[in-house]
Amino acid sequence: MNNTHHNITIIVADITTLHVDAIVNAANETLLGGGGVDGAIHRAAGPELLEECRGLGGCATGEAKITAGCRLPARYIIHTVGPVWHGGGRHEAARLAAAYANSLRLAAAHHVRSIAFPCISTGIYGYPAKEAATIALNTVRDTLPQCPSIETVIFCCFSEEDAEIYRGMCSWTA
């Protein structure tokens, strides 16, 4: 993906370690913690994150809410909820796209310049990795023009296999 105004990068890392304005959490609708990246973020951010999340009243699938980064190097955490994969017939693609788009818009509303996404829904929620990566890349490309503050988007994969999927798609999406 090549956009002269935005820097889009694909890395393999633990998202909790990144020095960016905002990281995105693949949360569940309760926003009260879970496994996978959600658990890692709560562990690294500390108990004050759970305290702040308790006041948010949960988050519907496809929506996004924001908290402080607490003990993370990131200033903000954008909590979004991707869809559980049920085979593709339950609006999973639209809901996954909404999770990416609403996260970006909320970040832009807070003047975020750099943001990192995990591979939302592709862990416990079972979304096929290639289909999810296509939606992630296309939705970010299509939503960034509405988000003037955002200069850098990082796709923070947790495995080299996921990063290869994104790299392969970027070359033909560009």
CB of 171 to ligand ADP, least distance (A): 21
- CA 138 – CA 97 distance, rounded (Å): 9
**Residue 96 interacting with ligand ADP (CB under 6 A):** no
Applying CB under 6 A, the span of 34-42, 61-69, 143-151, 164-172 interacting with ligand ADP comes to: 34-42
Determine how β-strand 22-26 pairs with β-strand 7-12. Answer: unpaired
Biggest distance spanned by C-alpha atoms of the chain: 43
Residue 37 interacting with ligand ADP (CB under 6 A): yes
124 vs 113: CA distance, rounded Å = 29
38 counts as catalytic: yes
| Residue selected from 3, 9, 11, 14 as contacting ligand ADP according to rule CB under 6 A | 14
- Establish if 122 lies at the interface with ligand ADP (CB under 6 A): yes
Q: Which of 14, 21, 38, 142 is catalytic?
A: 38
Residue 168 tokens read as: 């392969």
Tell which residue, 94, 110, 104, 111, has the closest CA to residue 24: 104
Question: Which 71-90 residues touch ligand ADP, going by CB under 6 A?
Answer: 82
Phi, psi of 31 (to 5 degrees): 60, 20
Which residues in this chain contact ligand ADP in the complex, by CB under 6 A?
Answer: 14-16, 26, 36-38, 40, 82, 118-125, 156, 158, 162
Catalytic residue annotation: 38
